[in-house]
Structure 1
Amino acid sequence: MIVDGPAPAGATVVDATGCVVTAGLVNAHHHLLQTAFRTLPGTRGIPMREWLPAMAAAYTAAGVDPELTGLAARAGLAEALLSGVTTVADHHLTWPSGADTVGMARAAAEAAAGLGARLVFVRGAARDDPQEAAASADAIVRALVPGAPGGVSADGMLQVAVGPAGVHSDPRETFELLGEVSREHGLRRRTQANEVVDVEIALDRYGARPLDLLERWGWLAPDVTLAHLCDVTDDEIARVSASGASATHAPGCDVPMGWGIAPVRRLLDAGIAVGLGTSGGGSNDAGHLLADARLAMQVSALVGPQLPASDVLSLATSGSADGLGRPELGRLTPGAAADLCLWDVSGVADAGVADPVAGLLWASPGRRPRTVVVGGRLVVDEWRLLTADEDEVVARLFERVGR
């Protein structure tokens, strides 16, 4: 915990001279499995209706199982820590028929525990059998966080949530059954909405837009977070706001793929809590949230007033944490979890910068923190991962996927 006053006896003292100190970044929307499937031929700059089956074919060829899930999560979470992200929400959507789903979830959780990262594991669904998805979600909760209030472990390092991929892939029954699991265990709910393909499919299949369906199906509520929201009307924004649902912006996925830009300023002005996510390596290729914060700041002027750097930094910290129902994260206040980053701003890349906080985003693209602390524990120092051998993490994943 962050406390006022002098350092306790025996505490490690970190010299922050020349650094800006922020709360640990919170990646509110990732697909860690996709870390194993970056820059695949035929997956860039294409419509989502073509991208989805291309990625599905890659998953099938690789054989998604607990081993691959754990190795991909380990690489993605190591990358996250090295770029200042201390909490990752992993919306896992790929569950082969007959798979050991508890084993897959446990592998991701163990990868996070070994690295010292906080993980929010979202038992997602994408064309899964609704009954099987709900049974799996229930089993995962009971195995990973049994009896934990809100699905959050006692130490706050692991959280379990649920959420279908979206109305484009999952029927009403899946939303309803996962909603029942959520109510039974007090879990957060997450889904994706109003990107591109789901709007087209929803109109064609149901004669309604995604948010219309989510409202009918009970998925516009304070415990729900909606990722993407690239194509939303003023009326839809007002309805999301009235429901108390939160949102996640993912420009590092949506912009380069040509899938749109969420109107973040309009969402914020409507009183909606907005977080920031990278989405997965299959569309973004990187899990560097600060880089995506820079992109979010730059492209915001294309859909409204430009967002100030301080507002975008808030998206990547407290905004993301609020969407996870975790007010103790993403903040540097007494009583908050001791997750923080030290960003060295003393080098030539920051020469001439008038506002060092704004400079975190405007200057030095690809900036990485010098030091990262999670729960009071040093996990990165002098730009080096302390909790695993980075070369070994990389080698094991390449060995598994045959590249």
Structure 2
Amino acid sequence: MDDHPTPSDTTLIKGGWVVGFDGTEHRLIRDGVVVFEGDTVVHVGQHFEGQADHTIDASTKLVSPGLVNAHVHVGAHTGDRMIFDAGRRDLFRSGFMNYCTTNGINGPTLHDYENADVAIKYSLGCLLRYGSTTVVEMGGELGGESEGGKLGPLARHAGELGIRIYMSPGLRSAHHYYDQDGRHQIHWHSETDELRTLDAAIDFIEKYDGAFDGRVKAILVPLEYHLCSHELLRRTKSVAKEHGVGITLHLAESVLEFQDSIRNTGRTPVGMLYNLDFLGPEVILGHGLYTTGHSQVAYTRGDDLAQLRETGTTVAHSPTVFGRRGVHLESFQRYLDAGVNMAIGTDSYPQDMLGELKLVQIIGKIADRDFEVCNTREVFNAATLGGARALGRDDLGRLSPGAKADILLVDLSRPRTGPYLDPIKALIQCCDGEVIDTVIVGGRTLVQDGQLLAWDHTELLGEVRQSCEHAWSKFSEYWPDNEPIETVFPNAFKPWDGA
């Protein structure tokens, strides 16, 4: 394969299996072909009679559209990696509040001790390497969207790598903090401060939306419903309409948030956004877990899902990060049956969409105690067509003429794949991101033979491990009671005492 085709070159991929889109739905083509010219697919089918400048032999591979990852936190996930099997019980199984909460109103979070630049590069590399060709970034917990009036490292590194990213500086009216007694509190900022975050996002949109040949796109990111005033949400909706961009925010992700919403507004989080006319087809809700009918909120009646369906709002589902806390969506099939557009996001480590899809399906079946629900077709659709629909893109998440040439070549000859009747079922139930051999974005090969072409991922791994170890060494300075990390978040096994 020629690694450097010119923008006008035609490339023919010979499968293998091809997941083609017929204008209505995905279809499987055995020994099919995909042809792209420049950054655009020009032909999908059983045969191609034209001439191609380059040919890729994918006869032992599955040729799939790139995956649309609708909910991502770009970073090393230092906090998430730390809290598994443990955490504060007064946070009602919430994970992120264990490390994104500041120690005192003006104190640090655990992220403040990291090497943000290294964490960003490592994370973006993992996302691309494991099949996410488009990602929606949730407000830059490490910063990096803009810097000194110029593009910051998050956008620059994404542009350099070649991945598609939706992003902008995050918006908020408040933040979580631990008070002097170590209790969780919320500190509300001044109106001037909250509007300053919106101004920064508007500046990003006006300067950088469409940067790097359109791969860096703007989306407004109110960080959490729990931390945004109604006025900020109203203004966000207005700015999105004025600039023609989408919106994404965390919503219905914690029991505390649900309880506070009921107590302070008389409405569920979804119900309050519906009342504010905030919901809509341009809105992606991160998680949307605690809605009416969920067993953990004791709010058995209501019409949250009907309101999501009515407004065309998308829910980005990330089962791994919640499954680690003993929580699950109730249920993926219930949302589908209600007519809600579902997308998939990895949220946290290891940022492997194939691993995420496996959990979507398994947890979905367990939640409903039904082996026929949450079927493979619907799960794969959510990771492709559902994510593209959420972004208003009919040129992503599919292989069809006119679509962007965002393509995965998946090596089905690996032993872990085994014999298979259906390559898509094998992809989700037998595989993880390590089976992805080649990743193409906009017609450019960015991963080949399982290796990033832009960066040395092994070198990045060493650097990001140093960054995380430094942050963990500062844990006692961050934690309210100044306890050592070994006490609060102990390893699975005690250290060896003997010689």
What is the TM-score normalised by the length of structure 2? 0.71
- Change beyond 3 A, Cα 1:45–1:310: farther
Distance 1:103 1:63 in 2: 22
Structure 1, gaps ≥5 residues long: 146-151
Aligned to 2:10: none
8 Å CA contact 2:357–2:379 kept in 1: the answer is yes
The residue type equivalent to 2:270 in the other structure is L
Quote the residue 1:286 is aligned against.
350
Instruction: Report the alpha carbon displacement of residue 288 of structure 1 after superposing the two structures with TM.
Output: 0.5
After superposition, the C-alpha distances for 1:247-305 in whole angstroms (9 at most, x for unaligned) are 1111011221223315222222232221000113xxxx310111010000001113334
Matches within 5 A, 1:141-290: 141-145=205-209, 152-153=210-211, 155-196=213-254, 197-233=256-292, 235-280=303-348, 285-290=349-354
- For each residue in 1:13-50, what CA deviation from the matched residue of structure 2 results, as whole angstroms up to 9, or x when unmatched? 22111111110111100111354544125785653557
Matched residue, 2:418:
351
Is 1:56 the equivalent of 2:123?
Answer: no
1:26 lines up with 2:85 in the alignment: no
Shift of 1:61: 4.9
SS where residue 72 of structure 1 aligns?
helix
Q: Quick one: distance in 2 between partners of 1:45 and 1:255? A: 14
Partner of 1:149: none
Give the equivalent residue in structure 2 for 1:133: 197
Structure with the higher fraction of residues in helix conformation? 1
Residue in structure 1 matched with residue 383 of structure 2 by the alignment? 316
> SS at 1:341's partner residue?
strand
Aligned counterparts of 1:140 and 1:212: Cα–Cα separation in 2: 30
Q: Does 2:127 align with 1:90? A: no
Who is 2:123 aligned against? 76
Would the alpha carbon gap of residues 248 and 105 (structure 1) be closer, same or farther in structure 2, given more than 3 Å must change? farther
Contact kept, 8 Å, 1:74 with 1:111, in 2: the verdict is yes
Please give the alpha-carbon distance, in whole angstroms, between the structure 1 residues aligned to 2:406 and 2:330: 28
Letter in 1 for 2:399: L
Aligned pairs for 1:92-131 within 5 A: 92=139, 94=141, 106-126=152-172, 127=174, 129-131=193-195
CA distance in 1, matches of 2:79, 2:385: 30
Measured on the aligned residues, the alpha-carbon RMSD in Å equals: 2.7
**Bigger radius of gyration:** 2
CA contact (8 A) 1:192 1:226 kept: yes
Following superposition, the deviation at residue 393 of structure 1 comes to 2.3
Number of residue pairs aligned between Structure 1 and Structure 2: 388
| Structure number with higher strand proportion | 2
8 Å Cα contact 2:139-2:221 kept in structure 1: no
SS, match of residue 362 in structure 1: helix
Shift of 1:386: 1.1
Distance verdict in 2 for CA 1:163–1:135, change over 3 Å: same
Q: How far apart are residue 142 of structure 1 and its match?
A: 2.1
TM-score norm. by structure 1 comes to 0.87
Q: Which runs of 5+ in 2 are unaligned?
A: 1-39, 175-188, 293-301, 471-499
